[in-house]
A and B are shown apart, each in its own frame.
Chain A
């Protein structure tokens, strides 16, 4: 059902008014309801941190009570942030916290980042050469598959050689003890 005022958004609020014994029904979206004074809302005051900490609590509530005490005791070995502090501030204390609290992160990331949990963007140039190679090899493999489907075997052979070359490179850099 569409909102009666804007005719665009979905009507999620259904209000029934009785005026002089006469019953009227209106179907509105939250925005229009607010503009018309049908909805008294303090949403504006709600900050991203309130929302985030809300997510943590939702998650704790949905997990079994027995694990509750367990995560409350959990502490990051590096910065000494406790799970409780983490869920209250909605912030990590250090890079190690990502491992310490890893069990609870995916649901949070999914909600904040539209269902995503894995980074596919930039990789540092100097420190993570190995990862860059890995990403590149994966791209070439996808390309290779496509070329085989299109029966462009000569091009496919070239791409396969590139993959081999990269694999050798990253193996040798591995042996030299490059950072992973």
Chain B
């Protein structure tokens, strides 16, 4: 296996399964921040100290398998091309910050891309697990098992009062960040999501748009995650998140029904216009593509369009990101060239489905 297999596919193998509530929840991600007890955190550690961490990870975990997480493979950031790194960021397998860190940093990936363990990012270890749909309980169970497996070989920085010690005070304690990625087109259209965000924030949860600048949610995709990591058990944290996500799901379903009932023809018009743009445009910016892809996903979920699968839309969402476009074209492209390429890929991909 080489890096090629990770960057050729826009869709990670685990994403091809449909998870619970997949019409609204795209994926669940769990992250645990961990550090070695006797090495300074990456911010203050010299390269030779960080090397202790990378060597340890390579020695004990590279080319290993743990349960369904087979063939873990380590990639050093230094060895990757800029475009390859960008592609891994666009697939959310690594963070932009890891790319910046460069020296003695890397990522350990499982073959199915369900586990991504970032090494020497802000903390020595950022273990991330991904699941399709809404599966917080299962994700926590799996993350704990994987964490225990790592701990057999690593002495973690931990103390009784503060739990797992992390570089940033915002992660101390459980080191847990649980996030759920949701497609909320109807709540966005009706303006309800903006009203719900402050209430959600009060519960110690954060809502932000992904693929967008700042708080804007391109493609109506939002990420809901916990902020508090100290003084609560992991189970309590995910239970809270779960209950908020369930409410959002109910509200989104309700808003969809409302839209169909009250302005069905307008909605249908909007959706088919978007479909037209995706099928026939020659130049398309990422923002417009995201909007149209969101409309199309909604159309499939509410049954306006039948012979198309939502998996294609998830694929196109990633495939039309700048890094992927250039990887596909095998060359660096100007923004204008990217918009042309993007339109072309979308047209071709949708035409494949028509056959």
Which A residues contact B (CB, under 8 angstroms)? Answer: 6, 8-9, 29, 31, 35, 44, 48, 52, 78-81, 89-95, 98, 105, 108-109, 112-128, 131
Contacts and interface: CB of A to CB of B under 8 A. Distances in A.
B151 A117 contact: no
A78 B43 CA distance: 13
Contact of B40 (A52, A94, A113, A126): A94
**Contact size range, B:** 35 or more
Given A92-B169, A95-B165, A98-B162, 11 more contacts: A8-B199, A35-B194, A44-B215, A79-B41, A91-B41, A112-B230, A114-B228, A118-B231, A119-B230, A120-B231, A122-B174
B152 A126 contact: yes
B352 interface: no
B96 interface: no
Interface of B: 35, 37, 39-41, 43-45, 122, 144, 147-148, 151-152, 155-170, 172-174, 176, 194-195, 198-199, 204, 214-215, 228-234
B148 A125 contact: yes
A124 B158 contact: yes
7 contacts: A78-B40, A91-B122, A92-B169, A109-B162, A116-B231, A119-B172, A121-B174
Contacts of A114: 204, 228, 231
Contacts of B174: 119, 121-122
A91 B157 CA distance: 15
A140 B204 CA distance: 30
Contacts of A98: 159, 162, 165
Contacts of B45: 79, 94
A35 to B, nearest CB: 8
Given A124-B151, A128-B158, A52 B43 contact: no
Chain B binding site: helix, strand, loop or mixed by DSSP?
loop
A92 B167 contact: yes
Contacts of B162: 98, 109, 118-119
B235 to A, nearest CB: 8
A79 B40 contact: yes
B208 to A, nearest CB: 11
Given A78-B40, A95-B37, A119 B156 contact: no
Given A95-B35, A127-B158, A121 B233 contact: yes
Contacts of A128: 158
Contacts of A131: 160
A10 B347 CA distance: 49
A25 B39 CA distance: 59
A113 B161 contact: no
B281 to A, nearest CB: 31
Query: Sorted from nearest, which 7 A-B pairs have the closest CB atoms?
Result: A116-B231, A119-B163, A93-B44, A95-B157, A94-B40, A113-B230, A79-B40
A109 to B, nearest CB: 6
A126 B152 CA distance: 7
A179 to B, nearest CB: 9
Given A44-B215, A120-B233, A9 B198 contact: yes
B229 A113 contact: yes
Nearest to B167: A91
Nearest to A122: B234
Contacts of B163: 119, 121-122
B169 A112 contact: yes
